[in-house]
Each structure stands twice: as C-alpha cells, then as structure tokens.
Amino acid sequence: MTFKNILVPYDGSAHSNRTFNKALEIAKQHNSNLKVVACLDIANLGGWYIDKRTNNDIMKKAKNLTEKLFSKLDNAAKKKSIPVDFKIIESKNTVNALTSFAKSKNIDLIIIGSSGRGGFDKVLLGSVSNGVMQKAKCPVLIIK
C-alpha cells in the first residue's frame, strides 16, 4: 500500500493553510496526488428567515471566496510542481461528505488540521476532524 491519493480538507483557516503546506511536503516525498476539498455547509446558512434568495447569494459569495483561496494554493503547488485537484462540495453534513468522498475516490490518506473555523479553542480537537477521524476507513494524519 502506498499513499497515492491524499485528501486535504480545506476551510481557509490558518490551521488548514499549515495543513496544506505539510501535505505538499508529504506529497513530494511520496509522489502522490493531492485532492483539496472545501465543504460548504448548506444546512445552516441562516438566510432562510429573510428570503429564500439570500441563501443563494451567500452560497455564490462563498464559492467565489473559496475559488480565490484555491488559486492561491494552486500557485504554491505549481511552484513545487505537485499535481493538485481542487473541488468544492456542497453538503448538509461535512463529515459525511468528506468520508464518502474519500471512499469514492480511493483515498489512501486524509491529512486534516486539528481544528479549523469551528471549535472554540485550539486546545480541543475540532468537531469535523474528530468526526472524520472516527468515520474514515483510511489512515488519518492530524496536523497540530
């Protein structure tokens, strides 16, 4: 077994930037493909009580923002000449979306930051990383 495909969940936080850099390092050593995935949560956008269209607006803005973040990451990856795929997933449950994505794409290793945007403290483990750790079928590397 080799680490051919590596999944890196990304949410734009400082933690996930650090995780991405670490993943680049590891991918270079193992000659593996990186898949960077951003999960957009459609369950609790919070715009529903104003207008239904508000949610669509929020979604569009979120997508634009993530694409901008992705282009930054892409530059960093191109400098090190590592193949990286980017993907945006919309889902109601981030953990389930990530684990099912890992299953369908035959991911060998998930590299995830210990906490991201959620979570109240850096001391504790984030809810998403904890969920992924429990549910994933492949090895999970947690970057502190």
Partner 1 sequence: MIKNILVALDGSKNSIRALSNAIQFAKQTDASITGLFVIQSFPTEMGLVRTMVGKALSKHYKRFIPIAKTMCTKKGVEFLDVVENGEEGKTIVSFAHKHNFDLIVIGSRGMGTLGKLFLGSTSNYVVNSSKIPVMIVK
Which residues in this chain contact partner 1 in the complex, by CB under 8 A?
A: 1-3, 22, 25-26, 29-30, 114, 124-125, 133-134, 136-144
Per the listing, tokens 């990286």 go with 84
37/132 with CB nearer partner 1:
132
Residues 6+ apart with CB under 8 A from 83: 33, 34, 77
1/43 with CB nearer partner 1:
1
Specify the DSSP element, H or E, that contains 9. strand 5-9
29/81 with CB nearer partner 1:
29
- DSSP for 97-141 reads HHHHHHHHTT-SEEEEES--SSSS-SSSPPHHHHHHHHH-SS-EE
Please report, as a single letter, which amino acid is at residue 73.
L
Closest CA to 143 of 132, 135, 108: 132
DSSP assigned state of 35: E
Least distance in Å: CB of 109 to partner 1? 8
Least distance in Å: CB of 144 to partner 1? 6
60/144 with CB nearer partner 1:
144
Least distance in Å: CB of 117 to partner 1? 19
88/138 with CB nearer partner 1:
138
**CA 119 distance to own-chain centroid:** 16
Least distance in Å: CB of 127 to partner 1? 13
Least distance in Å: CB of 72 to partner 1? 23
